[in-house]
Amino acid sequence: MENKVRILLEKALLNAQEKGLLTLPEVPAIALELPKEKGRADLSTNVAMILAKKLKVPPGLVAKAIVENLPNDNHVIEKVDVAGPGFINFFFFNEFFQETLREISSGIQKPTPKVSQKGEKILLEFVGANPTGPLNVVNARAAALGDTLARLFEVTGDHAEREFYVNDEGSQIENLARSVEARYLELDGKTIPEFPEDWYAGEYVKDLAKFIRDGFPKPEIFGTEGKKIYGESIFTKERLALLREGFKDKLFTKISDEKTRLQFLARTAVIYMVNSQRSVLERFRLVFQSWFFQSQLGDSVDKSIAVLKEHGHIYEQDGAIWFRSTTFHDDKDRVLIRQDGRPTYFSADIAYHAYKKKRGFDRLIDLLGPDHHGYIARTKAAIQALGYPEDTLEIYLIQLVTLMSGGKPLRMSKRAGEFITMEELLDEVGIDAARWYFLNRHRDTHLEFDLDLAKLQSDENPLYYVQYAHARIASILRAASEQGVKLASASSIDLTPLVHAAEKELIKKMAQIPSIIRLAAESREPHHLTRYAVELARTFHSFYTECRVLGDPSEKKVSQARLFLVASCKKVLAEILGLMGISSPDKM
RNA sequence: GCGCCCGUAGCUCAGUUGGAUAGAGCGACGGCCUCCGAAGCCGUAGGUCGGGGGUUCGAACCCCUCCGGGCGCGCCA
C-alpha cells in the first residue's frame, strides 16, 4: 500500500521538477503515516514540509506542486488535500483497499529487502552469561530481544546467526572450581572455611558437587561435548567413567595434583552449567546456531595482539602490555597482558571479535548486560585498531529488570543467593508472557516486570488481548466451515463487497506490517512489534463488533469477502507473534 | 568527580528520528450480549512532556543549564 503511494509521489515530484516548479537535488525518502486521528486521511505524508526546509520554499507551495502533478490515471487515490502546515492527505478508492488485501494475503506485501544492500551476514552475540551460575532475568530479556532481532533480520533479507559466548577461562571460573571443591569436601564431612565474597555460594554449586560425588543424571554430555571442547586429556576414559558412577570419596586420590584437579572441576562445571543454560534457553524456544568457548581462542589472542602491535597501538608500561585505545576515543588505555603475564578478559574479547570478523560477517551485533557499559568504547576502539570500520560493530546494552510482585519490587541479592532465575521466571509466568513483556519495552529502559499482571489470564493483560484476537478468528473459521462457507483463494475471491469503514481500517492496519518490521529491524528495537500487535488486535476487535462475518445467507458474497479478510488478518497476527517467538493459539 | 541511560496521564510505557488538537494499556466513571468467543466493543475524565533558557515557520524530540533517579568508571569477568 505504502509503496504504491510512494511511487505516485515520486512521479509527482519528477513531473513538478520537469515543469520547473521544484528543483530537487535528489528524490527524498518519503515517510508515510497513518494519521493519529482517524478520518483525517487514509494515509498522509509530510514530504512537502521536509522539502520546503531544504529548498527554502513555503511548504504550502511545495505541497500544491506535488498534489497538482500526481499522475491522475491511477486507481489508487480518490481524493487528496493539503492540510495543516503542509501535510498531504490521501483518500483511496475502495478498489485500492481490496487490491491491497489481496496482496497481503498472497504474501506480496512482505517487507522488501533493503535497497542499498543485498543482505548482510550478521552475527548476533547475546545472553553471553558466565557459566558460573544459572541464567537470570536480564539474560532472559537479552534472549527474547536477540532471538527476535535475528528473526527480523532474516525477514528483511539479511542473514543472522545467533551465537552464545562462553567465558570459560579466568579467575571467576577458578573461583567456581574452588567453590565446587569446597562443597565436595563438605559432603565428605570436612569442615570448610567461610566462603570468600567472590566464591559461589548458590545451591546449584552444592548440586554440582553432589553430582560429581554420586554421578551425573546425564553423564553423556561429558563424553560428547566435554571431550569435543576440552579434549581427551581432560575427559579421559577413566574420569568419564567416574563422572558416570560418581567419584565417591576418590576425587582427591584420583586427581591428587591440585592444579589438575581444579582444572578438571572447572571444565566439568562449565560443561554442566552450559548444558543447563542451554536447556532453559531451548525451553524459551531459543536455539543458538553456535556456542563459542573462550578457551577455543587458543593462540589467536597472541595473534590479534600482534596485529595491534603492527599497527602501532601497543606499548609496555609497569611490566604490563597496554592497548592505546584512547586513539579511538576511549577514556583511558587498557591492559591486555597483566604484569604476571596472564592475558585480560578484554584481550580475549579482542581476539574473539577479530575471529568473528574473519569468519566473514559483515556486521557484528553484541547485546550486553548493563554492567558492561565500560566495554563499548574499548571494544569499538579495538575493532578500529584491527582495521575494521567502526560501524560494523554495534553494541547495545540491555538494561536492568526489576521484578514486581504485589506492587513491590522483589529484592535480588546475588550474594545471599536470593535471585529469581530465568527458569523460575518461566515457571511463574510462562514463555509467551515472558517474551511479550521483555519485548514490550525499549531495550535501554529499566524494565519493571509485573509478575502479577503477566500471570493474569484476563483482559488486563495485553498479550491475551492479542492472542484472543487470533483465537477469535480461528473460531470464526471453524464456524464457517461448519456452516459450509468456504474460504476462497486470493486469486478467485470477489472482494468488492468490502467497502465498510471498519473493513478499510483493518486493511490499512494490516498493510502496515512491512514498514513496522523494517522499522523494528533497522532500529534494532523490537518493541515496535508489540505495539503494532496491540493496534492490529484492536482494529480487528473493533471491526468484529461492527461487521458480522457469518450470518445472513442472502449476503453470501459479503460473508465470503469478510471471511477472507479475517483469515488474512489471522495470518498477519500469527506472523507478528511468530517474529516474537510467541504462540498464536486457535483456542484459549 | 567524569561518562552513559532515564524523567511524558493515578500506574506501566509508546511517540516512526523536527510536524496536525502529545498517544496506548491498566486503573476510575458511564453505556453495549435473543446474533460468528464480553479474554470483546463504544464513550467520559485524566498532561506545565522534571524546571529554566536557546535554535525556527514549528520542539516531548536538537543545543545549554539546573533538579531528581539508575548504571558504569579493576592488571575481575
Q: What is the pLDDT of residues A113-153, one digit of tens each?
A: 544 456 889 999 999 888 999 998 889 999 999 999 999 99
Neighbours of A195 (CB within 10 A): 16
Residue A458 has pLDDT above 70, yes or no: no
The pLDDT value recorded for residue A415 is: 45
Q: Calculate the angstrom distance between C1' of B4 and CA of A62.
A: 41
CATH 1.10.10.60 fits A462-579, yes or no: no
Q: DSSP alpha helices (H): ranges in A345-450?
A: 345-358, 375-385, 422-429, 431-439
Q: Which of A16-25, A197-206, A297-306, A562-571 is predicted with the least confidence, judged by mean pLDDT?
A: A16-25
According to DSSP, the β-strands at A43-45 and A87-92 are antiparallel
Closest nucleotide to A566 by C1' from CA:
B36
* E strand or H helix that includes residue A64: helix A59-68
The pLDDT value recorded for residue A552 is: 72
Pick from A292, A329, A334: nearest CA to A317: A334
Which residue's CA is nearest to the C1' of nucleotide B7?
A445
Q: Calculate the angstrom distance between C1' of B21 and CA of A37.
A: 10
> Which segments within A220-373 are labelled E, that is strand?
290-293, 314-317, 320-323, 334-337, 363-368
The pLDDT value recorded for residue A403 is: 83
Q: Calculate the angstrom distance between C1' of B50 and CA of A412.
A: 29
A12 close to A70: Cβ distance less than 8 angstroms: yes
CA dist A399 → A71, A231, A367, A396, A438 (Å): 49, 37, 10, 9, 11
Q: Is A331 helix (H, G, I), strand (E, B) or coil?
A: coil
The pLDDT value recorded for residue A61 is: 84
The pLDDT value recorded for residue A472 is: 95
Closest nucleotide to A525 by C1' from CA:
B16
What 8-state DSSP symbol labels residue A412? -
A293 close to A278: Cβ distance less than 8 angstroms: no
Which residue's CA is nearest to the C1' of nucleotide B22?
A36
Burial class (CB in 10 A: 0-12, 13-18, 19+), A140: buried
**Between A58 and A150, whose confidence is greater?**
A150
ipTM value for the complex: 0.92
The pLDDT value recorded for residue A175 is: 93
Which residue's CA is nearest to the C1' of nucleotide B3?
A331
CA dist A111 → A135, A147, A276 (Å): 34, 19, 37
Q: What is the CA A38 to chain-centroid distance, rounded? A: 32
The pLDDT value recorded for residue A49 is: 85
Which residue's CA is nearest to the C1' of nucleotide B58?
A85
Cell digits for A505?
481500517
Closest nucleotide to A465 by C1' from CA:
B39
Pick from A468, A440, A448: nearest CA to A540: A468
Separation between Cα atoms, residue A471 and residue A406, nearest integer Å = 30
Phi, psi for residue A58 in degrees, rounded to 5: -60, 135
Please write the tens of the pLDDT for every residue from A396-433.
888 888 887 776 777 655 444 456 889 999 998 899 99
Closest nucleotide to A89 by C1' from CA:
B20
The pLDDT value recorded for residue A118 is: 63
A250 close to A238: Cβ distance less than 8 angstroms: no
Cell digits for A296?
577455543
Q: Calculate the angstrom distance between C1' of B57 and CA of A57.
A: 11
CA dist A546 → A3, A59, A502, A503, A536 (Å): 29, 39, 7, 9, 15
Closest nucleotide to A522 by C1' from CA:
B16
Q: Calculate the angstrom distance between C1' of B53 and CA of A550.
A: 62
Q: Which of A220-229, A287-296, A361-370 is predicted with the least confidence, judged by mean pLDDT?
A: A361-370
Closest nucleotide to A339 by C1' from CA:
B75
Instruction: List, edge to edge, every strand of the sheet that includes A32-33.
Output: A32-33, A43-45, A87-92, A77-83
Cell digits for A50?
521536509
Closest nucleotide to A81 by C1' from CA:
B20
A2-92 matches A462-579 in fold:
no
Angle at A544 between CA A540 and CA A549, to 5 degrees: 120
- Mean pLDDT over all residues of chain A? 88
Closest nucleotide to A317 by C1' from CA:
B75
Closest nucleotide to A462 by C1' from CA:
B25
Please write the tens of the pLDDT for every residue from A71-97.
877 789 988 988 877 889 899 999 999
Percentage of chain A exceeding pLDDT 90: 55
A136 close to A420: Cβ distance less than 8 angstroms: yes
Residue A157 has pLDDT above 80, yes or no: yes
Residue A365 has pLDDT above 90, yes or no: yes
A398 close to A368: Cβ distance less than 8 angstroms: yes
Sign of CA dihedral A492, A493, A494, A496: negative
Residue A555 has pLDDT above 90, yes or no: no
Separation between Cα atoms, residue A393 and residue A391, nearest integer Å = 5
Residue A457 has pLDDT above 70, yes or no: no
Residue owning grid cell 567465558: A167
Taken as a whole, chain A contains a residue count of 588
Which residue's CA is nearest to the C1' of nucleotide B18?
A50
CATH topology for the A2-92 domain: Gyrase A; domain 2 (3.30.1360)
Which residue's CA is nearest to the C1' of nucleotide B13?
A441
Domain boundaries, chain A: 2-92, 172-277, 462-579
Separation between Cα atoms, residue A457 and residue A440, nearest integer Å = 17
Cell digits for A266?
572447572
Q: Calculate the angstrom distance between C1' of B13 and CA of A438.
A: 13
Q: Which of A107-111, A169-173, A429-433, A577-581 is predicted with the least confidence, judged by mean pLDDT?
A: A107-111
A344 close to A337: Cβ distance less than 8 angstroms: yes
Confidence of residue A187 (pLDDT cuts 50, 70, 90): very high
Amino acid at A388: Y
Which residue's CA is nearest to the C1' of nucleotide B27?
A460
Cell digits for A288?
543458538
- Nucleotides of B strand lying within 7 Å of any protein CB atom: 2-6, 12-17, 19-27, 35-42, 57-58, 70-77
The pLDDT value recorded for residue A369 is: 83
Q: Calculate the angstrom distance between C1' of B49 and CA of A30.
A: 27
Closest nucleotide to A83 by C1' from CA:
B20
A469 close to A496: Cβ distance less than 8 angstroms: no
According to DSSP, the β-strands at A393-397 and A363-368 are parallel
Q: Which residues pair with A88 in a beta bridge?
A: A45, A82
Closest nucleotide to A332 by C1' from CA:
B73
Percentage of chain A exceeding pLDDT 70: 94
Q: Calculate the angstrom distance between C1' of B44 and CA of A384.
A: 58
Q: Which residues pair with A77 in a beta bridge?
A: A92
Q: Calculate the angstrom distance between C1' of B37 and CA of A580.
A: 25
Pick from A59, A67, A62, A61: nearest CA to A85: A59
Separation between Cα atoms, residue A511 and residue A171, nearest integer Å = 53
Burial class (CB in 10 A: 0-12, 13-18, 19+), A326: middle
Q: Calculate the angstrom distance between C1' of B33 and CA of A435.
A: 34
Q: Which residues pair with A290 in a beta bridge?
A: A163
Phi, psi for residue A545 in degrees, rounded to 5: -70, -35
Separation between Cα atoms, residue A367 and residue A129, nearest integer Å = 11
Q: Calculate the angstrom distance between C1' of B53 and CA of A526.
A: 36
Q: Calculate the angstrom distance between C1' of B33 and CA of A306.
A: 76
Which residue's CA is nearest to the C1' of nucleotide B20?
A84
Q: Calculate the angstrom distance between C1' of B74 and CA of A135.
A: 24
Q: Calculate the angstrom distance between C1' of B62 and CA of A86.
A: 22
- Name every residue whose Cβ is closer than 8 Å to that of residue A526 and which is 6 or more positions away in sequence: A145, A148, A149, A152, A439, A520, A579, A580
